[in-house]
Structure 1
Amino acid sequence: MAKQSFKTFSILWFGQLASVVGSGLTGFALGVWVFQETGSVTLFSFIIMAAVVPGVLAAPFAGYVVDKWKRKYIMIIADVIAGISTLVILLLLMFDVLEVWHIFLTSAIASFSSSFQLPAYQSTVALLVPKKQLGRANGMVQMADSLSMLIAPISAGLLLGIIGLEGIIMLDLFTFIIAVGTLIVIKFPELAKETTAIKSKFVKEALKGWTYIKERPALVGLLFYFAFVNFLLGYLNVLIQPLILMLSDEKALGIVISISGGGMLLGGVLLSIWGGMKDKMKQFLLFGMLSAIGLSIMGLSSSIVVITIGMFITLALIPFGNAAVQEIWQRKVHANVQGRVFALRRMVGLSLSPIAYLTAGPVTEKIFSPLMSENGLLSTNLGLILGVGEGRGIGLLFFTLGILWLITGVAYYAHPRIRRLDHELPDAIDAPELAETNNPVLEQKVVSVKG
């Protein structure tokens, strides 16, 4: 039987790190390409939406599959599908026929595959790592995302001028091979009972994730928090790149995102060393509120420096909150239903994000930008603080988003059932039953993502 091992987790983490950095390179380069080709914030937002919506819709089915099948094989298949979608982009680019709708389609395919890969990866962490080391492991997962934000933008900006978009996509394909290779060589602990064939109706089994959460009201409250805050951050995801490109160029954009990613990396490193507060719920809410303040700072000025400082603060503190709440879910949810619960959590958490993606362009162009124009309704009042003119509408929106996030955090902290969740809800992973995954066919050499 494969035992819990931080070393095994580290190998898995390294492979996923390589993959997420490669995907970050391609995502940044394609994002710049789309905005420069079209100049449309709305089309840019559609790309982001295409990378989210299919995964949200597929989540219930994906969660069921993760709990019933071997998670190692699910991750391999998902990475292969994502790699194929990237290969298609490369071929279209090489034949000079790449269009924006191609990116919509391949982003949707990659999103679908990630709906299987992410819950499989997240639920595997609790199987691979002893409970006392979950904080450290989740800090490393956050650090991987941070490294992608640090390395990918500035590297993509430099590499675009050296090896071009085609070369960047080839690098991305190489990282997929690394990710799949590490998955092949390691042995996963797997659940002995729930991964065997159980004859029951799919809908009933898929709904077990919701039933499990519904019986624990504080977890339901967390789902609503995720949905609302991700809705707010959806506007940031769509508008930050156009805002920087309005004020400067793609080099400045790469620097801003890389510095911000450096903040996220710093947070992840500190968290992986520290392990976090004993009360994970208080850690989650506290650092979320501090991140909200950073988001509001981003809206205070059209200065690239001020925007960078605000984004650095926000992203440096997000890992502390994300890792804390991830550990809560890993400890409070029984391993046999983690796939379904984590998939459902992702579905609900991102359910409102498409609304932000769809409305970001119109809300900015029709409401916030006119309010902060030279003769806008708020130009003589808030204009004294936030400034007026180009980009100040987005600045006002960012300032407002931060305030709404802060208010949400305060309200949740004031709720005793939510605040005491870590103490009142018992842990469920003290002794998961494990079985070894060792298929001789997949132990051979095999060539092969969220967002």
Structure 2
Amino acid sequence: MKDSNKLKKATYHLWTFTISKLISSFGAQVYSFAVSFYILQLTGSATSFAANLICNILPRTLAAPFAGYITDKYSRKIIAITAQIATTVAITGLLVVTLSSGLSLIAIYTTSCILSLTSMFSGVAFTSSITGLVDKERIQKAMSLNQMSISFAAIASPAVGGLLYGAVSMPVFLIMYIAASSLAIVLESTMNFNLFAHRKEEVEGEPKETMWQSMKAGISYLKLQPLLMAIIWISLLINFLFGAFEVGYSFILIEKMKMASQRFGFTQGAFAIGMLLLSIYFSIRKEVNYPLLVSKRAIIGMGVMMGAVAGPILMSLTDNSIFVYYLMIMFSLGALVITVNTPIMVMMQKQIDDDYKGRVFSILETMSMALMPLGMVLYGFLYDVFPAQWILLISASLFVGVTLILARPSVVRKAHPELEKVRAHRRGVAS
């Protein structure tokens, strides 16, 4: 009876977690869309717009290691709820400033910095708590539903943001965001973050670790996990090389192909739809048997798609053909991103000790984002100097090469020793 109640509570967690994530992701993305629009309308400056992007990336990158320590040290439920309350307070503060003295860039930048930190703390707390919230058999479903809510928000938020931005004033818009954020707080407060958790109890009189010792312990734990280290290095280098696509895609379609803004928006939507459909697929299928192998193949597929972006520059195509070609590429990339992330995240959830999850996931986030700004600056310079097609093709080749080296067959065999037996059995059956 006790197990039955736990499973019912886990089912409740699956849906409250998904709804809470959908509300917070949707609110954050609609807010981001409206604020970006406002900045460009107010200043017409790309520099002011870029400054807001930096306010979104830099604080979370700098604070991620500390978030890992705090998440492993204190109650993850309290951290998640506090982060959501801080989001609500920050938006309320922006509303008060808007009503009293008018919206200013300083107020927007300050709010963006706070929201960057709160979303990062909330994200690390929730990611570290998946195995505490749901039973082992439904970890993949939980990860997929989480990704579905993010993908759905990515598809719908530009349309809703555009509609609201034209229809209501900024104060009304902020009040709607405050209401949504408050609902997320209520949902999160009903969840039991320790339902299935296996965290170490603190012993009375035992000397307490300092923050620095705790962070060093997290790095030492990672060093003893060669598979996790391989995943982190792949993530670091792949995110850096993916800058060739992040910068090049918009540059090629808008500058080289002169694609209409509406069509360009449709190609961006195809990416989110690919993510959403694969998230639904992973939420209903059984767990992947060989996650590292599946992710390796999907990363190679991403490299191929990245190189294929250069295709229309190298051959002559009609405008309609170019549009359909990029729709297919973006849909495939969205699907491949989920195929990379979901199996690997499920594997990490199961392999990482509950007491180290916060630190490991925060190190992964820091490493993933560390080279992204550098990659964007470097590729921005390269696209101004060299032909776009060669930058993409060389970067795509490096992308595939790095994956083949860091996820070589010996690494895959260590991750999945049972795979060799299955292959030997198949060879025996075939002969």
TM, length-normalised to structure 2 = 0.81
Question: Is the partner of 1:51 in helix, strand or coil?
Answer: helix
Mapped contact 2:383–2:391 kept (Cα < 8 A): yes
CA contact (8 A) 1:153 1:255 kept: no
Give distance in 2, aligned partners of 1:166 and 1:15: 23
Q: CA deviation at 1:153?
A: 1.8
Residue by residue, what CA displacement relative to the aligned partner does 1:162-183 show, whole Å, maximum 9, x if unpaired?
A: 2255544443333212211111
Answering whether residue 270 of structure 2 is matched by residue 259 of structure 1, we say: yes
CA distance in 1, matches of 2:306, 2:345: 22
How far off its partner does 1:403 sit? Answer: 3.6
Structure 1: distance between partners of 2:401 and 2:345 = 22
**Alpha-carbon spacing, 1:40–1:185, altered in 2? closer, same or farther (3 Å):** same
C-alpha distance 249-36 of structure 1, shift in aligned 2 (>3 A):
farther
Identify which of 328, 340, 353 aligns with 1:321: 340
Cα distance in 2 for partners of 1:185, 1:70 equals: 15
Asked whether the equivalents of residues 144 and 283 of structure 2 are also in contact (C-alpha less than 8 Å), the reply is yes
Does the CA-based 8 Å contact 2:293-2:412 persist in structure 1? Answer: no
Aligned to 2:408: 414
Q: Which one of 345, 348, 355 corresponds to residue 336 of structure 1?
A: 355
User: In the TM superposition, what whole-angstrom CA distance separates every residue of 1:185-207 from its partner, at most 9, and x where no partner exists?
Assistant: 22221555357886222211122
The alpha-carbon deviation at position 115 of structure 1 amounts to: 3.0
Q: 1:9 to 1:278 in 2, by over 3 A?
A: same
8 A Cα contact 1:41 1:238, kept in partner: no
Deviation at 1:305, TM superposition (A): 4.1
| 129, 133, 147: which one aligns with 2:138 | 133
Q: Taking structure 1 as the reference length, what is the TM-score of the superposition?
A: 0.78
Counterpart pick for 1:279 among 290, 294, 302: 290
Q: Note closer, same or farther for the CA distance 1:14–1:34 as it changes in structure 2 (3 Å cut).
A: same
Give the Å deviation of 1:304: 4.5
1:354 aligns with 2:361: no
Aligned length: 399
Once the 2 structures are TM-superposed, how far is the Cα of residue 278 of structure 1 from its aligned partner?
0.5
Percent of aligned pairs with the same amino acid: 22
Matched, 1:151 2:156: yes
Q: CA RMSD in A?
A: 3.0
Q: Does 1:117 align with 2:117?
A: no
Judge conservation of contact 1:292–1:314 (CA < 8 Å) in 2.
no
Q: Which moved more, 1:115-124 or 1:298-307?
A: 298-307
- Unpaired segments ≥5 residues, structure 2: 314-321, 419-431
Aligned counterparts of 1:141 and 1:238: Cα–Cα separation in 2: 27
Alignment partners' CA distance in 2, 1:57 and 1:271: 32
Give 1 or 2 for the bigger CA radius of gyration: 2
Corresponding residue SS for 2:382: helix
Give the Å deviation of 1:400. 4.8
Give the Cα separation in 2 of the matches to 1:174 and 1:238: 36
Cα distance, 1:248 vs structure 2: 5.7
Higher helix share: 2
Match of 1:193 in 2: 200
Q: CA deviation at 1:234?
A: 4.6
**Conservation of the 8 A alpha-carbon contact between 2:307 and 2:392:** yes
SS class of match (2:338): helix
**Equivalent residue for 2:328?**
309
In the alignment, which residue of structure 1 is the partner of 2:58? 53
Tell me, yes or no, if structure 1 residue 221 matches structure 2 residue 230. Answer: yes
Write the deviation string for residues 244-290 of structure 1: whole angstroms up to 9, x where unpaired. Answer: 66646665554333332111101101111124531011111111222
